[in-house]
Amino acid sequence: MEGTSDVFTVENYLYFTRLIIGVVLCYLLYINFPELPFQWSLVSVVVAISPDNSTQLAKDRMIANLLGCVVGLVMFFIHPPNLLMLSIGVLLVVFIGLYFNMQGSIRSALAALVILMLYNNQSADWTLALDRLVCVIAGCLVALLVTLAFNYLFKVCRFKSPQPKDQAT
């Protein structure tokens, strides 16, 4: 099979490990705090953890998630979520993200916006949006902590953090 040798690399095993650790930690939040929508932290953690274990990328995605959450919360206060408000929110996130040169993490911001603006019933309660904001940020923090922990382990064990093949030159 072609391409299978690229799948079974140390870098990918480390990526899988970081993802599983992040998912397990967020799932524990989800199970132990059923009153909060921590399922959104699960989405957030898998979006925020990067294959290359880049601390900067994890920080950029966390900032992007905050951007999406802030825009979503502002839109929520202007008018209850609907297709028009979601569309305006998408435009705002993209415009602000491009303005601040966040091209690499705009999708994370858009995911956070959509998570925040979705609602399951007809009563658009702002506390629901606030709960989702907290849970998205929790997922980002877990992703950042997992990334920092792996980088610390590489430093303590004096291993060089593996770089993807396209960056190893």
Using one digit for the tens of pLDDT, what is the confidence trace for 31-78?
999 999 899 899 989 988 888 877 788 788 889 988 998 999 899 889
* Residue 110, domain extent: 10-153
Determine, yes or no, domain membership for 167. no
pTM of the predicted model as reported, rounded to 2 decimal places: 0.77
Cα 115 to chain centroid distance, Å, stands at 11
pLDDT score recorded for residue 51: 83
Determine, yes or no, domain membership for 168. no
Determine, yes or no, domain membership for 161. no
Determine, yes or no, domain membership for 142. yes
Which residues of the chain are modeled with pLDDT < 50?
A: 168-169
Determine, yes or no, domain membership for 138. yes
Determine, yes or no, domain membership for 165. no
If one counts the domains in the chain, the total is 1
Give CB contacts under 8 A, 24+ apart, made by 139-142: 139/22, 139/26, 139/40, 139/41, 139/42, 139/43, 139/44, 139/45, 139/47, 139/48, 139/65, 140/44, 140/45, 140/48, 140/61, 140/62, 140/65, 140/66, 141/62, 142/22, 142/25, 142/26, 142/41, 142/45
CA atoms within 13 A on the CB side of 84: 3
CB 45 within 8 A of CB 81: no
Q: CA-CA distances (angstroms) from residue 107 to 5, 47, 63, 110, 114?
A: 29, 9, 12, 5, 11
Query: How far is residue 47's CA from residue 58's CA, in Å, rounded to a whole number?
Result: 9
Query: How far is residue 68's CA from residue 168's CA, in Å, rounded to a whole number?
Result: 32
Query: How far is residue 140's CA from residue 59's CA, in Å, rounded to a whole number?
Result: 9
pLDDT score recorded for residue 168: 46
Determine, yes or no, domain membership for 166. no
Determine, yes or no, domain membership for 115. yes
